[in-house]
Structure 1
Amino acid sequence: MKEAHVGELVDLLDLERLEDNLFRGQSRDIGTHFVFGGQVLGQALSAAQQTVDSTREAHSLHAYFLRAGDINAPIVYNVERTRDGGTFSSRRVVAIQHGQPILNGSISFQVPEQGFEHQSSMPEVPMPEDLEPMPPLSPEQLAQLPTKIQRWLGVDTPIEFRHVWPQDRLHPTKRPPIQHVWFRVTARISDSPALHRSMLAYASDFNLIGTATLPHGISYYTDRVQMASLDHALWFHRPFRVDEWLLYSFDSPTAQGARGLARGQIFSRDGRLVASTVQEGLIRLRPDSQ
């Protein structure tokens, strides 16, 4: 079963080529009614990677989410070959549905080369084997949740998460905006670095903006809370595999104006910093009348 779900994700990121710079992708319903933002990020990166020489590796991605995606319609990715220099290549990607852009993104690629190195240290946290997966909610607990949350929790995911400091999802308490989560794809995939980068882009949208809710005692499960990703930045630093455990360390330095900012660092289990993320998201408490 795990292999089947991972295979679905691999297929999701394997886009159909319509023209030299035009690609089409399908969507997977993960229980959100709308297309998961991480899916559009991963597919946009997959499209861009198919327009550069295989010796050039993506090192940064910057994207704005413009509209909610329709899970029942395909997404077309238009790639603009902005520049190919001696060492770097730049691509602009627009994801389109129903004639409207749902994401604008810019992705930069580089020929690998040697240079100075330093990095932040990985936080001292328990290893994933020492942590228990979050237990599923009981049928009685599920019945208390809005329908949208029941759908979210009812869909199997190809990614396993283990939280260092698990949160009571139904009754969150206020706590500092810091969290650490181990994650991995639940079955072995091919050795293609491009596929691993696309999958990391997909996974990097999980738990990120939720970090900004921690000081306020709310969560995505809280009634009347509206949350959505507004933008997303991702930098790749060092080689990694998404089918091996990675530690995602989050913090949120600020929230204001119905928006929260969250940052993430992704480490391999041997302590190498392999990627960094930043995201701003909408966090809005709707009035009772809505």
Structure 2
Amino acid sequence: MDDIDDGSGPHPDISLLIERLTLERIDRDIFRSPHPGDGEGRLFGGQVAAQALRAAATTVEAAHEVNSLHCYFMRPGRFGSPVTFLVDRIRDGSSFSTRRVVAVQEGEAILNLDASFHAEEEGDEVVVPGPVGRVPAPDEVEREDPEDQPTQRRPFDRRELDPPADGSTRTFWIRARGDLPEDPVVHACVLTYLSDSGPVSAARRSLGGGGRWGWEGLDLMTASLDHTMWFHRPVRADQWLLYDLRAVGVGRARGLTHGSLWTTSGDLAVSVAQESLLRRRRPRG
């Protein structure tokens, strides 16, 4: 049974993600994620970035929508310890608002995010040709079993294209497993979360990594280093989007991936750029 199509409400995993995007306000510009989750290893960077964006947006009082963000992942977050988000109100203008957020865990900064918010404004539009229409539609692609995916991918229905779109390193359809709230900030935060799942594997694939996610055959230490997004138009994260990823270069233990999220009608919704750490592990002894 496909739990996203039966109208029965959100999948438990997406409900949990929405819950983690509901931050506790402990002062005017200070927020906290009381319980980032249980698990081993490091927190998923996309979750921390999404929470930082949520904190920033909460302090924007004007009717401005997210138009871009740039974040640096500085230290791995850990499970079981609250994360505090300190917001700096850089600027409030009639057209744009700017915020800076530092995510702190146990006294150490783990992420720095700058976000820009823009008032709705009319302007010329140029239609850029994309891969939609030249690749199989979502219902023509096999659905992945969420139980076979890492925890951070389970809130989403994902359909991997094999081979990817022409000239791309990795391409897949993706949407949240259930209806999300109408709040456009929630959709921007969920898009931020999911956008961090894919760029590292695309960079690994460019080095010859095998398997669906590029993890096979390479002994590498990998991590997201910095992440940039531009939101070109409002879209819903609970409707199908095509995530197209292209590894554009690797050097000095770092890889750069460009990504784009497209609607089913072929509109470019979000552009992404991420630099990843790709460090070969040294033999012990």
TM class by shorter-chain length? Answer: 0.7 to 0.9
Give 1:154 shift. 6.8
Q: Following the alignment from structure 1 to structure 2, what is the Cα–Cα distance between the partners of residues 254 and 163?
A: 23
Percentage identity across paired residues of the two chains: 37
Q: CA deviation at 1:120?
A: 2.1
What's the CA shift for 1:216? 2.2
Aligned to 1:241: 236
CA displacement 1:229-271 (0-9 Å, x = unmatched): 0000011111111111100011111001111000101011111
- The CA deviation at 1:153 is 3.9
Aligned with 1:122 (options 102, 118, 130): 130
1:196-229 alpha-carbon deviations (Å, 9 max, x no partner): 0000000000011211111322233556321100
* 1:131 lines up with 2:122 in the alignment: no
Question: Equivalent residue for 2:36?
Answer: 27
Distance in 1 (alpha carbons) for counterparts of 2:219 and 2:141: 32
Runs of 5+ consecutive residues of structure 1 not aligned to the other structure? 139-151, 168-174
Counterpart pick for 2:76 among 61, 68, 79: 68
Match of 2:253 in 1: 258
Structure 2 residue runs without a partner (length 5+): 4-9
Is this contact kept in 1: 2:69–2:115, CA < 8 A?
A: yes
TM-score (norm 1): 0.86
Aligned residue pairs: how many? 269
C-alpha distance in 1, partners of 2:122/2:279?
45
Q: Flag as ranges the 4+ runs of structure 1 deviating above 6 A.
A: none
Quote the Cα distance in structure 2 between the aligned partners of 1:206 and 1:253: 17
1:50 to 2:58 alignment: yes
Distance 1:114 1:176, change over 3 A: closer
Give 1:39's match in structure 2, choosing from 47, 54, 59.
47
Q: Is the 8 A contact 1:259 1:281 kept in 2?
A: yes
Matches within 5 A, 1:156-175: 157-165=154-162
Offset from partner CA, 1:166-221 (integer Å, 9 cap, x none): 69xxxxxxx97622111010111111101000000000000112111113222335
C-alpha separation in 2, matches of 1:65 and 1:15:
20
The Cα of 1:27 is off from its aligned counterpart by 1.4
How far apart, CA to CA, are the structure 2 residues paired with 1:244 and 1:261?
27
Alignment equivalent of 1:16, drawn from 14, 24, 34: 24
- Shift of residue 20 of structure 1? 0.6
Counterpart residue type for residue 27 of structure 1? P
The equivalent residue for 1:188 is: 179
Distance 1:43 1:178 in 2: 28
Measured on the aligned residues, the alpha-carbon RMSD in Å equals 2.3
Q: What SS class does the counterpart of residue 232 from structure 1 fall into?
A: strand
SS at match of 1:72: coil
SS of equivalent residue, structure 1 residue 49: helix
> CA 1:154–1:179 in structure 2 vs 1: closer, same or farther (change >3 Å)?
closer
SS in 1 for 2:11: helix
2:160 maps to amino acid: H
Match of residue 282, structure 2, among 261, 267, 287: 287
Matched residue, 1:272: 267
Looking at structure 1, the residues matched to 20 and 147 of structure 2 have their Cα atoms a distance apart, in angstroms, of 28
Find the aligned partners of 2:242 and 2:176 in 1 and give their Cα distance: 13
Distance in 1 of aligned mates of 2:236 and 2:245? 20
CA change 1:32–1:60 in 2 (3 A) is farther
Cα distance in 1, alignment partners of residues 260 and 70 from structure 2: 16
Q: Matches of 2:110 and 2:37 in 1, distance apart?
A: 16
> Are the counterparts in 1 of residues 90 and 100 from structure 2 also a CA contact under 8 Å?
yes
